[in-house]
């Protein structure tokens, strides 16, 4: 058990599961799209979830963003980040980059090694935060608090679990936990009742989510939970660990219009974002200094 709960707890059952299929986008780059437009409606404030694999021949040269936060979590290899606000650095296996694009940022994400694997989550910003100044934060693997108890290890990237709490401040209240369950172990995590929650399975093929009577779910599935305040997970395998991310957030309840690298509240705001970028203004002034 990783969290104490009382008899009044309401289990969150699985209401949707979907395999994030492989999509080869370009030479040297493969993606799994975990959250599509269908899941967006169930998972406010989350807009996108992508697991990526890059070789040295791939990557994303300079490109813009506006209106959301992106969280990049590396599993293997490394990603080199540079932006026109002067932030730069490399995140490697176990590290996290939390980027608030706000009113506008232009950056590049390029692979460091021959094999680079990680995950990127897009978290929406409420309308009154969409035009704030950009922010950039990196958490090294050593700085991420973790706990272990009865065969369950958790890394607390945002929020709290097993009596430990992350120091990360998120504009949109968010829970971001990396669980590893040894064979035969289980975890029970409290999640605010009003929040939307899902899991993404990184490793394992006998994870049981929500109810002990549910069917096992394997790696690379997105598991969406229904209402309640307690997420329960069991690893039914006798030989393999189960690793998954448990992610939850407070719904914003506003219209979402996404087009390419911009996430806004209306088509007019999307049109303005493209105009601002093309004319190097309102947060994109450095577009004239593009390197690629």
pLDDT tens-place string over residues 222-254: 999 999 999 999 999 999 999 999 999 999 999
pLDDT at 87: 78
pLDDT at 292: 47
The 8 Å CB, 24+ separation contacts for 156-162 are 157/71, 157/73, 157/96, 159/248, 161/2, 161/3, 161/189, 162/2, 162/3
What mean pLDDT is predicted for residues 141-148? 96
Chain-centroid distance of CA 191 in Å reads 16
Task: Report pTM.
Answer: 0.94
Q: Does residue 63 surpass a pLDDT of 60?
A: yes
* CA neighbor of 148 nearest in space, from 183, 184, 181, 188: 181
Q: Report yes or no: 76 and 108 within 8 Å, Cβ to Cβ.
A: no
Q: Does residue 7 surpass a pLDDT of 80?
A: no
Q: Does residue 190 surpass a pLDDT of 60?
A: yes
Give CA torsion, residues 243, 120, 267, 173, to 10 deg.
60
What mean pLDDT is predicted for residues 161-175? 93
Confidence of residue 186 (pLDDT cuts 50, 70, 90): very high
Q: Does residue 4 surpass a pLDDT of 50?
A: no
The token pair at 172 is 């949109």
* CA neighbor of 217 nearest in space, from 242, 186, 238, 239: 242
Q: How far apart are CA 286 and CA 85, in angstroms?
A: 8
Q: Does residue 221 surpass a pLDDT of 50?
A: yes
Residue 255 CB partners (closer than 8 Å, separation 6+): 265, 266
pLDDT at 290: 54
Beta strands in 59-204 (DSSP E): 60-65, 68-76, 78-83, 88-92, 96-100, 105-111, 116-124, 135-139, 146-149, 152-158, 160-161, 164-165, 174-181, 186-190, 196-203
Q: 86-90, 130-134, 210-214, 273-277: which range is least confident on average?
A: 86-90
Q: Where are the alpha helices (DSSP H) in the chain?
A: 37-40, 267-278
For the chain, the structural domain boundaries read 14-249
State percent of the chain over pLDDT 70: 95
Mean pLDDT in the chain?
92
pLDDT at 192: 97
pLDDT at 169: 87
What mean pLDDT is predicted for residues 16-34? 88
Binding residues for Fe cation: 63, 65, 107, 109
Q: 22-31, 56-65, 74-83: which range is least confident on average?
A: 22-31
The token pair at 122 is 């897009």
Q: How far apart are CA 285 and CA 262, in angstroms?
A: 16
What mean pLDDT is predicted for residues 62-74? 95
What mean pLDDT is predicted for residues 183-201? 98
Give the chain's radius of gyration (CA, Å).
Answer: 19
Binding residues: 63, 65, 107, 109
pLDDT at 39: 84
Confidence of residue 6 (pLDDT cuts 50, 70, 90): low
Residue 275 CB partners (closer than 8 Å, separation 6+): none
Instruction: Considering the domain delimited by 14-249, tell me its CATH architecture.
Output: Sandwich (2.60)
């Amino acid at each position: 058990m990783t969290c104490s709960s009382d008899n009044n707890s309401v289990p969150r059952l699985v209401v949707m599961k979907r395999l994030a299929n492989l999509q080869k986008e370009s030479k040297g780059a493969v993606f799994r799209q975990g959250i599509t437009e269908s899941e967006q409606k169930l998972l406010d404030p989350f807009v996108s979830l992508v697991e990526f694999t890059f070789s040295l021949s791939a990557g994303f040269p300079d490109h813009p963003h506006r209106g959301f936060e992106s969280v990049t979590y590396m599993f293997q290899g490394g990603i080199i980040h540079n932006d026109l606000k002067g932030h730069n650095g490399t995140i490697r296996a176990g590290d996290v980059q939390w980027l608030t694009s706000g009113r506008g940022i232009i950056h590049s994400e390029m692979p460091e090694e021959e094999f680079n694997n990680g995950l990127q989550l897009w978290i929406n910003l409420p309308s009154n935060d969409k035009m704030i100044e950009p922010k950039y934060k990196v958490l090294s693997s050593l700085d991420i608090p973790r706990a272990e108890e009865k065969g369950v290890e958790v890394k607390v990237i945002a929020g709290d679990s097993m009596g430990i709490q992350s120091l990360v401040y998120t504009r949109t209240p968010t829970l971001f936990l990396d669980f590893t369950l040894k064979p035969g172990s289980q975890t029970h995590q409290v999640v605010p009742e009003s929040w939307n929650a899902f899991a993404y399975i990184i490793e394992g093929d006998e994870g049981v989510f929500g109810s002990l009577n549910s069917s096992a779910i394997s790696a690379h599935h997105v598991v969406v939970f229904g209402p309640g305040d307690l997420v329960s997970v069991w690893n039914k395998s006798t030989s393999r660990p189960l690793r998954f991310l448990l992610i939850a957030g407070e719904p914003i309840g506003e219209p979402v219009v996404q087009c390419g690298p911009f996430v806004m509240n209306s088509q007019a705001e999307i049109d303005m974002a493209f105009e601002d970028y093309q004319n190097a203004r309102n947060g994109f002034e450095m577009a004239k200094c593009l390197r690629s």
